[in-house]
Amino acid sequence: MTALLTVLTIAKARDGLVAGDFSAEELTTAHLEAMGSKRDLNAFVTETPELALERARASDARRAGGDVRGAMDGIPVAVKDLFCTEGVLTTAGSHILDGFRPSYESTVTANLIEAGAVMLGKTNMDEFAMGSSNMTSYYGSVKSPWRGSEGQDLVPGGSSGGSAAAVAARVSMGATGTDTGGSIRQPASFCGIVGLKPTYGRCSRWGIVAFASSLDQAGPLTRSVRDAAIMLGAMAGHDAKDSTSAPFALPDFEAALTGDIRGLKVGIPKEYTLDGMSNDIQALWDDGVKWLEEQGAECQELSLPHTKYALPTYYIVAPAEASSNLARYDGVRYGLRVNGASIDEMYENTRGEGFGEEVRRRILIGTYVLSAGYYDAYYLKAQKVRTLIARDFRQAFEVVDVLLTPTAPTAAFAIGEKTDDPVAMYLNDVFTVPASMAGLPAISVPAGLDADGLPLGLHLIGRPFDEETVLRTAEALETAAGFTARPDGVGA
């Protein structure tokens, strides 16, 4: 029974709860057991079983009294450790937040609580969401539930790697992630699950530890497109506490899943074809075009000429904002403090010990590009290029409704690979970063396996605040792809 419960989608679990087939407590217990059996993945920094059971029982009690808060009521989910959770350790994967228990709940997780969702724990992540492999966490690497063809341990992707691993390993039915340059979509692709980055401004950033404020956006990682629609509906919404939150009413995302994409215009941006990209990826992309056309969509090649500048531009803008956002971790008020003879020495000791290598690298890059004499050449120019990237998309969306690309240039790689070459690591984000720079909604859908049997994702990018078209198209891909592969030993 319990094993069966953990393989359900959120939509199926909702139906089971409604039908009284099982209780929220049973559902949660099954997942807590799965969590216990998958500790070797290191997907969680903090497990919150008591809190989970308490909320599950509360959900059951509500349901018994006829008060059901919607599709997420009683659904166990994991929360990336970047979201501040009241009274629960929140680390951002960093040593510098040692012992930090917020007195407040982030808007997104508060919305989930309000919708009745049950938090299983806080998931591991790249430190301050900076990474594409989950190898930069102070709490150690997360292992993907998938294994390499020779049994080697693989990265789950990053930075929402703990969330992706937990969902793929059937420890959690869904998880929150955050995406700054691909941190939801790339791990979703690596782990064979769905990852949705909504439009910038769709989910409140209030209470999410900031990495790059103009890019950060929360979204769901789930095992189906429908689940992503359901979970986004419970996370999103306008929040007056975030000035960049969009003051729009929420559509019913699940209702957008009509299964009908006839007449949909799909753009295939030619700049997303990389030299040396594996045949598997190209073949999958071609399959995607075919699948959509078979369902009545019209695909056409088009050009987004500034795409090639997106990644270098991102690696100026994001570190610049991060260098300033992370200035508050100074040892004065919370988290780690390493004393020194003077205040400057205390800062140096605290930040030197508290931040890992990748975070220090990005703070240095960001400080450099904002410095007098370099600002115009780097930061200002990057902002101008960002405007051009956004314009490319705007012009494309005058012609098409949605864009189809691969999610990542490769499948998951082995733990320990690429750590000595930051630029190779940054290339993981080459397909996901442009949509981030333009603030557009985008989703990764598991669509196939490579020659080594590892999952690959296809990536859809939509118009601002048109998650509905993105989700509808994603479901069409999902249906056609029929992706049923599971990591070994999961859901058996």
Partner 1 sequence: MAYLIQGETGGWEVVVGLEVHAQIVSQAKLFSGASTAFGAAPNNQVSLVDAAMPGMLPVINEYCVEQAVKTGLGLKAKINLHSVFERKNYFYADLPQGYQISQYLLPLVGEGTVTLGMPDGSQREIGIERLHMEQDAGKSMHDQDPNRSFIDLNRSGVALMEIVTKPDIRSAEEAGLFLRKLRSILRYLGTCDGNMEEGSMRADVNVSVRKVGEENYRTRAEVKNVNSVRFIQQAIEIEAERQVEAHESGAGVVQETRLMDSARGETRPMREKEFAYDYRYFPDPDLLPLDLTPDYVDAIAADLTELPDDKQQRFVTDYGLSAYDAGVLVADRETADYFERVTHATSEGGKTGSRDAKMAANWVTGNLFGALNAAGLSIAESPVSADALGKLLDLIADGTISGRIAKDVFEVMFETSRAAGDIVEEKGLKQIIDTAEIGTVVDRVITDNPDQAEDVRAGNDKTIGWFVGQVMKATSGKANPQAVNELLAKKLKG
Rule CB under 8 A: say whether 341 interacts with partner 1.
no
**Which amino acid is present at 132?**
S
Q: Which of 103, 398, 423, 492 binds partner 1 (CB under 8 A)?
A: 103
Residue 104, token pair as written in the block = 């407040």
Cα dist. 463→25, 191, 229, 395, 441 in Å?
Answer: 39, 26, 16, 11, 7
Q: Does 84 contact partner 1 by CB under 8 A?
A: yes
| Rounded least distance, CB 372 to partner 1, Å | 5
Give the H/E segment covering residue 112. Answer: helix 107-114
Smallest separation, CB 106 to partner 1 (Å): 6
DSSP readout, 133-186? SS-S-TT-PPPPSSB-TTS-BB---SSSHHHHHHHHTTS-SEEEEEESSSTTHH
| Stretch of 17-25, 32-40, 46-54, 100-108 contacting partner 1, by CB under 8 A | 100-108
Q: Is 241 in the site for partner 1 (CB under 8 A)?
A: yes
Q: Alpha helices, DSSP H only, in 20-70?
A: 24-37, 49-64
- 3-state DSSP assignment of residue 223: coil
Query: In angstroms, what CA-CA distances link 54 with 49, 119, 235, 294?
Result: 8, 10, 21, 47
Q: Assess 90 for contact with partner 1 (CB under 8 A).
A: yes
Q: Which of 152, 258, 371, 395 binds partner 1 (CB under 8 A)?
A: 371
- Cα separation, 483 vs 454, in Å, equals 12
384 is catalytic: no
Interface residue with partner 1, options 7, 46, 54, 100 (CB under 8 A): 100
Asked if residue 327 binds partner 1 (CB under 8 A), the reply is yes
User: 144, 160, 183, 204: which is the annotated catalytic residue?
Assistant: 183
Determine the angle formed by the axes of helices 467-481 and 279-294, rounding to 10 degrees.
110
Decide whether 131 or 439 has the Cβ nearer to partner 1: 439
- In 3D space, the residue among 207, 240, 234, 239 whose CA is nearest the CA of residue 219 turns out to be 234
C-alpha span between 73 and 17 (Å, rounded): 9
Per-residue x/- mask for partner 1, residues 180 to 199, rule CB under 8 A? --------------------
Q: Figure out which of the listed residues 43, 112, 188, 208 binds partner 1, where binding follows CB under 8 A.
A: 208
Contact, 78 vs 142, CB < 8 A?
no
Q: Residue from 146, 253, 347, 413 that binds partner 1 (CB under 8 A)?
A: 347
What residues between 248 and 267 interact with partner 1 by CB under 8 A? none
Q: Does 375 bind partner 1 (CB under 8 A)?
A: yes
Could you identify the residue written with the tokens 């990053």?
Answer: 158
Smallest distance, Å, CB 207 to partner 1? 4
The minimum distance between CB 342 and partner 1, in angstroms, equals 10
> CA 374 → CA 30, 118, 422, distances in Å?
55, 48, 22
> Is the Cβ of residue 40 or residue 344 nearer to partner 1 in the bound state?
344
Which of 38, 80, 143, 418 is the catalytic position? 80
Binder of partner 1 out of 33, 114, 242, 353 (CB under 8 A)? 242
Is residue 205 involved in binding partner 1 (CB under 8 A)? yes
Q: In the complex with partner 1, which residue's Cβ is closer, 184 or 302? A: 184
Catalytic residue at 183?
A: yes
Would you state the torsion angle of the CA atoms of residues 4, 165, 334, 355, taken in this order, to the nearest 10 degrees? 170
465 lines the binding site for partner 1 (CB under 8 A):
no
Q: Is 324 in the site for partner 1 (CB under 8 A)?
A: yes
Contact pick of 74, 102, 145, 462 for partner 1 (by CB under 8 A): 102
- The correct pick among 290, 328, 384, 394 for binding partner 1 (CB under 8 A) is 328
Count CA atoms closer than 13 A to 371's CA, side-chain side.
9
The answer to whether the CB of 126 falls within 8 A of the CB of 96 is: no
Expressed in angstroms, the distance from the first to the final Cα of the chain is 12
**Residue nearer to partner 1 on the CB measure, 5 or 370:** 370
Of 94, 141, 159, 189, the catalytic one is 159
Phi-psi region of 229 (alpha: psi -120 to 50; beta: other; left: phi over 0): alpha
The yes-or-no answer on residue 159 being catalytic is yes
Active-site amino acid positions: 80, 159, 183
Q: Which residues bind partner 1 (CB under 8 A)?
A: 83-84, 90, 92, 97, 100, 102-104, 106, 205-210, 212-214, 240-244, 320-321, 323-324, 326-328, 330, 332-334, 343-344, 347, 367, 370-372, 375, 379
